[in-house]
Amino acid sequence: MSFSSPVSALRPLARELAPVQPRGSVRLLTPLLAVAVGAALLVLVSLHAHDFLAALDRALRANWELAAAGVLFEAASLAGYVALMHRVIAPASSELRFNDSYDITLAGTAATRLLPTAGLGGAAVTVWALRARGVPRREIAERLIAFLLLLYGVYMAALFGAGAIVASDGHRLGFVGMALAAAIGVLALGLAFAPAGATALLPERVTAQLPVLRAAAARAWGELRRPHLALLGAVAWWGFDIGVLAVMLHAFGAHVALAPLVLAYFLGTMFNVLPLPGSLSGGLVGALLALGAPAAPAIAAVLSYRAVAVWLPALTGLASVGRLRSSVARWRVQVG
């Protein structure tokens, strides 16, 4: 299969998701960012060529169970995401089965990884599928935001906790993680629960969306008040994905303690909001280096991690794209 084949397979879906495609300066910025990150990684590899080759040799000689463990961890991560999504979003339509949630998740992963949608591919696929089932836009927005609040609540809690542990050892990056997590958390909670008078100074475009955000926060809080095993899917999504990175670092001979690893992971994944197909590895490499990981093994491990955690789900998601497009066509006929 050529590299263009997966993208070609997604072209029909890309046309249907056209409203979420970045435009103008963002689209122009994408290749420049990709070249800059690629050049930075190339410089790092060239400066540590001997160590990089030694790390590759170590990984090739390592036990193949490590690669299998990475694949299993990524499968567990995706399973957690599907379970949480099915719990929070699928009740919008009694016709949505667990298999449909699986296809929406994997097709969304493929769209996010292989199309320049600035990280919105998964959300766009979810909206597209639920609209075909006849779910009102307001309910879609509320359920999707509630899902994201639960998912990223774990993200911010882990970022703050790992940052606190690293900061206690005197590393400034720990304080950065704590500050980011606290600022984003306070902003989200403030918008969701602040009284109407406190938001009077916000732009009208923002205040117009606050009722949806508040309803979504109420849905998320309702899920937490009635705990269900599926809510652990948020922990599984992040935790097992970090496990993939940990396995790859071990395979390449880089030893990173748990708290710095978690902090580097969450700081690095913040770069996923940039519209770069395949996500941005440079942020994760930079965070690992800043926290003391050796350069060559860290680069090799991150590239291998991306191969498992990004491209494997994206390529397997192509089958879900085909099934989901067929399902959407059938649902549209049923809804009329």
Q: What would the two tokens of residue 166 be?
A: 């690293």
**At 268, is the pLDDT very low, low, confident or very high (cuts 50, 70, 90)?**
confident
Residue 60 is predicted with a pLDDT of 53
Tell me what pLDDT residue 174 has. Answer: 95
User: What residue spans define the domains of the chain?
Assistant: 24-335
What pLDDT score was predicted for residue 119? Answer: 54
Q: What is the pLDDT of residue 321?
A: 84
Say yes or no to pLDDT of 196 above 90.
no
pLDDT given for residue 78 in this prediction: 93
Distance in angstroms (rounded) separating the CA atoms of residues 228 and 309: 26
Q: What are phi and psi of 280, to 5 degrees?
A: -110, 110
Summary mean pLDDT of the chain:
79
Q: Are 262 and 19 in contact (CB under 8 A)?
A: no
Q: What is the mean pLDDT of residues 278-305?
A: 81
Q: How far is residue 192's CA from residue 219's CA, in Å, rounded to a whole number? A: 11
Q: Which helix (H) or strand (E) holds 334?
A: helix 312-335
| Span 74-129, pLDDT tens digits | 999 999 999 999 999 999 888 889 999 999 988 888 777 666 554 567 788 888 88
> For residue range 118-157, what is the model confidence (pLDDT) as tens digits?
456 778 888 888 988 889 989 999 999 999 999 999 999 9
pLDDT band at 278 (very low <50, low <70, confident <90, very high): very low
Decide if pLDDT at 218 tops 80: yes
Buried b (16+ CB within 10 A) or exposed e, 18-50: eebbbeeeeeeebeeebeebeeebeebbeebee
CA-wise closest residue to 264 among 157, 161, 181, 159? 159
Q: What are phi and psi of 292, to 5 degrees?
A: 100, 5
pLDDT at 72: 92
Across the chain, which distance is largest between two alpha carbons, in Å? 63
Percent residues over pLDDT 70 in the chain: 72
Asked if 122 and 324 count as a contact pair (C-beta separation under 8 A), the reply is no
| pLDDT of 15 higher than 80 | no
Tokens of 85: 């999504």
**Under 8 Å CB-to-CB from 314, ≥6 apart: which residues?**
6, 109, 110, 112, 113, 114, 278
* CA separation for the pair 269, 278 (Å, rounded): 12
Residue matched to tokens 């970090």: 242
Residue type, 204: E
Q: What is the pLDDT of residue 211?
A: 86
Are 143 and 102 in contact by the 8 Å Cβ rule? The answer is: no
User: Which has the minimum average pLDDT: 92-101, 163-172, 216-225, 233-242?
Assistant: 92-101
pLDDT over 90 percentage in the chain: 35
Q: Does the structure show a pLDDT above 70 at 43? A: no
Distance CA 82, CA 110 (A): 14
Q: Is 186 exposed, middle or buried (0-12, 13-18, 19+ CB in 10 A)?
A: exposed
Q: Which of 22-26, 97-101, 170-174, 319-323 has the lowest mean pLDDT?
A: 22-26
Residue 27 predicted with pLDDT over 80 = no
Average pLDDT, stretch 304-330?
83
The rounded Cα 103 to chain-centroid distance in angstroms is 17
Identity of residue 38: G
At 34, is the pLDDT very low, low, confident or very high (cuts 50, 70, 90)? very low
Residue 269 has pLDDT above 50, yes or no: yes
